[in-house]
Amino acid sequence: MATPINIMINGLPGNVATTISRHASMEDRFAIIPYSLTGPEITARETVIKELPIRLITPDKREEMIGMLKKEFSGFISIDFSHPDAVNENAEFYCRHRLPFVMGTTGGRREELLRTVRESGNSAVIAPNMAKQIVGLQAMVAYAAENFPGLFTGYTLSITESHQQGKADTSGTAKAMIGSFNQMGIPFFPEEIAKIRDPQIQKGELGVPEDYLSGHGWHTYTIESKDKNVLFELKHNINGREIYAEGTLDAVLFLTRRIRKNSPGKVFSMIDVLMNTDG
């Protein structure tokens, strides 16, 4: 049996990080480090995942802890699903300490984020969406945009995205799709995305099941002709967070292989994970 990959799942006790932890705990391929970097607002000292106590490390403590963690748990991969406001600061921390990482958190200054990794010699998988199937769908739309530019010239676009009330930012997936639609001839800006966070609207108007109001991602892209006689609609409705956990752990396996092949300063995407290439 292969040696398990040490992973440090940061962002606990957040919902996505918790889901990933539960998935990882059921697989022999991973060994969860019993520590997690968390936000300054977290007052709890630990959380428990499948009977494993995990100590929570706030930002003011992480510099003094990281040396010990690197010595005790060599060669671990960090998984980051913390708050969007912490994206750049966290990436700088990982790169300063040469900690390869998988980041699925949206938000932050994205160009600076990528530059930080490349200039540090660190390696990472960074993506606004870790669900492989959604990423594949995005790739299909990108293919259409590249090969059929102007296809929908004269049409209008509306984008609605619904997520749990606690999601602070606009969906990174919805934002990522805009470029492809622009290339196909439809002018549209991120500010025009309809962002729904009200549980009553989600349940009553959209039909989100009540059990998933606290964890879902429903997206609808509607393309319509000026005369309203032609309409195209693309949807991806995700209930729960399991699909993101599965993709994240696949990204960890991919990044581990790339590090073994020596890929310093490389930023990989989920497309790279899907294709299993350097990109």
CA 164/CA 197 separation, integer angstroms? 6
Q: What are phi and psi of 11, to 5 degrees?
A: 105, 0
Q: Is there a catalytic annotation at residue 163?
A: yes
Q: Which of 61, 70, 71, 167 is catalytic?
A: 167
Three-state DSSP at 62 gives: helix
Per the DSSP assignment, residues forming a β-bridge with 126 are 103
- A 10 A CB-CB count for 223 gives 18
Q: Which of 163, 216, 219, 266 is catalytic?
A: 163
Q: Is the peptide bond before 100 cis (omega within 30 degrees of 0)?
A: no
Three-state DSSP at 54 gives: strand
| Dihedral over Cα of 248, 249, 253, 256: its sign | positive
Q: Is there a catalytic annotation at residue 175?
A: no
- Burial label for 160, CB within 10 Å (0-12, 13-18, 19+), is middle
CA distances from 131 to 242, 269, 271 (A): 9, 12, 11
Q: Residue holding tokens 């005790």?
A: 72
- What 105-108 contacts at long range (C-beta under 8 Å, 24+ apart), as own/partner pairs, is 105/11, 105/80, 105/81, 106/169, 106/171, 106/172, 107/83, 107/168, 107/169, 107/172, 108/84
Q: What are phi and psi of 240, to 5 degrees?
A: 85, -175
Task: Report the catalytic residues.
Answer: 163, 167
